[in-house]
Structure 1
Amino acid sequence: MNLQIVPARTGLHWATQGVRTFWQQPLAMSGLFFLFMATVSLVSIVPFIGGALALVLLPALTLGMMVATQTALQGKFPMPSVLFSALKAGSQRKSMFQLGGWYAVLFLGVMVVSMLADGGTFAKVYFGGSPMTPEVVNSPSFQTALWVSMVLYIPVSMMFWHAPALVYWHGLPAAKSLFFSFVACWRNLKAFAVYLLVWIGIFTGSGILALLIASLLGDPQLMMAVLMPMALMVAAMFFTSMLFTVQDCFSASPEGPV
């Protein structure tokens, strides 16, 4: 496994590859992403520990979407069990749960720091403990907490972007996978900037399209009925594209668990 530096335009390639692969198996990839969200939602309602447990599972479920993408690339239909591949891999299971534990700790740490800015309002809204009203969202303290959380989450995201794949396909321990993931993202920062800008454009464009469809139908209330399925589909495309960032940033193409 060797780290590769790619040009900025590769970020566009990652996004287009994700969209193209999604449409090879649109029902399967949409269904798997829905199962992803449903699993997180069901686990999060467990009393006391649900929220933290859901965070622990996120790296493993993200890896499951990458495995599903790999399956779709091979011309096969990814079954629902593919989503839980990381939890079934014997030697990698411990490291994957360690990744999940570190993710939960760091994410909750970001939320704790945000509480210093607004007394915990943003954290309550994020975890569903408080309603998101215009008054709350527009308050200066909430805005400060939002930006603090976003800035602090960037290095966390960089650490975990490639880490599940490095554990599952390359057999790295959790600590090394976090380090190499951060370095890969940092060294390919221009490509990731293009990649994120493309996806921001796609998400924004899908929202505008949903608004236009609702307007043409003559019922603004239909906008959410159109927007939600479209947003889930675009989100599934985004997760589908993640595998290609791993393949291009590391020389050894993933073919299966080691």
Structure 2
Amino acid sequence: MKLKLVRAFTGATWVKLGIQTYAKQPLALTGLFFMFMALMSVATMVPLIGLPIAMMVLPAITLGLMAATREAIQGKFPMPLILLSGLRAGPVKLRAMFSLGAMYATGFMCAMGVSYLVDGGGFANMYLGGHVPDRDMMESNAFMAAMWTFIGLHLPLSLLFWHAPALVYWHDLSPVKAMFFSIVACFRNFWALTVFALLWMLVMVGMMLGIMTLSSLLGSASLAGTLLFPGLMLVASMFFTSLYFTFRDSFEADLPVKELDLP
């Protein structure tokens, strides 16, 4: 397997392909994304161990969304069980996925723990949904320092795992090798990923401005609040649909990539 260099403009192509693929199977891909969110939410509700469990299964479930995109590209209707693709591919890949999950959960909890030490837990409680900070807290130096500390620690963690589940699943790499190739690929295609991220931010902002403009034109202040959450979920669904293309175009396989073969 070889890493593949792409132009910066490829980031825009990934966004376009994500939106186009989502449009082919909007009901299936939206439903799968909501199932993904529900699984994460239910897991985090378990006291003490809920968050680590959610973070442990996150790489495997994200792989499931990428597999769903691949199914949609092939003109198929992705079924709900595809979310568990990484957990249903045999004992070897199951162990690899759990290893990835354990390493990601450890890294995430460490990053969150360091941010907790910076401001006494203000940012951590806000991020994890347990506390709504007031304006004074959000404007405090400690809160901002904790936020940037978490971002600084979580960003390299995200790059390590950006392609790793897909490399384990489709290219049979070990978890450590998959993480290595993932972060190297992300750095080599830095500008393409930067364009990709910036365009998705613009899509999200554009959607929010559109909803607020529509609400203003119709003279309904409550309309914006009603439509904002579904709109954000729509953009998030399309974003996750586009992740597969960042993986597909970043690697050139020496051998054909395996087709999905679910038991």
| TM-score, length basis structure 1 | 0.96
Match of 1:107 in 2: 108
The residue type paired with residue 153 of structure 2 is L
Counterparts of 1:83-232 in structure 2, within 5 Å, are: 83-90=83-90, 91-232=92-233
Structure 1 pair 254–36 and aligned structure 2 pair: CA distance change class (3 A): farther
Secondary structure of residue in 1 paired with 2:3: coil
2:171–2:258: 8 Å Cα contact kept in structure 1? no
Tell me which moved more, 117-126 or 173-182. 117-126
Match of 2:73 in 1: 73
**Aligned-partner Cα distance in 1 for 2:234–2:135:** 27
Tell me which moved more, 134-143 or 4-13. 134-143
CA positional deviation for 1:103: 0.5
Secondary structure of residue in 1 paired with 2:249: helix
**Aligned-partner Cα distance in 2 for 1:248–1:186:** 14
* 2:259 paired with 1:256: yes
Match of 1:55 in 2: 55
What does the per-residue CA deviation read over 1:176-225, in whole Å, with 9 as the maximum and x for residues that have no partner?
A: 11111000001111111111111111111111111112222322222121
**Aligned-partner Cα distance in 2 for 1:148–1:174:** 26
What does the per-residue CA deviation read over 1:111-137, in whole Å, with 9 as the maximum and x for residues that have no partner?
A: 111123211111111112222332322
Secondary structure of residue in 2 paired with 1:131: coil
**Aligned-partner Cα distance in 2 for 1:76–1:70:** 9
Structure 1 pair 33–204 and aligned structure 2 pair: CA distance change class (3 A): same
Displaced runs of 4 or more, over 2 A: 132-136, 252-258
**Aligned-partner Cα distance in 2 for 1:133–1:75:** 48
Match of 1:43 in 2: 43
Secondary structure of residue in 2 paired with 1:233: helix
The residue type paired with residue 256 of structure 1 is E
Tell me which moved more, 219-228 or 127-136. 127-136
What does the per-residue CA deviation read over 1:21-51, in whole Å, with 9 as the maximum and x for residues that have no partner?
A: 0001011111110000000001111122011
Secondary structure of residue in 1 paired with 2:2: coil
RMSD value over aligned CA atoms? Answer: 1.3
Match of 1:7 in 2: 7
1:118–1:142: 8 Å Cα contact kept in structure 2? yes
The residue type paired with residue 211 of structure 1 is M
The residue type paired with residue 46 of structure 2 is V
* 2:23 paired with 1:20: no
Secondary structure of residue in 1 paired with 2:180: helix
Consecutive unaligned residues of structure 2, counting only runs of 5 or more, are none
Aligned length: 258
Secondary structure of residue in 2 paired with 1:221: helix
1:170–1:257: 8 Å Cα contact kept in structure 2? no
1:161–1:181: 8 Å Cα contact kept in structure 2? yes
Consecutive unaligned residues of structure 1, counting only runs of 5 or more, are none
2:111–2:150: 8 Å Cα contact kept in structure 1? yes
1:111–1:149: 8 Å Cα contact kept in structure 2? yes
**Aligned-partner Cα distance in 1 for 2:126–2:2:** 41
Q: Percent identity?
A: 46
**Aligned-partner Cα distance in 2 for 1:224–1:84:** 33
Match of 1:245 in 2: 246
Tell me which moved more, 142-151 or 161-170. 142-151
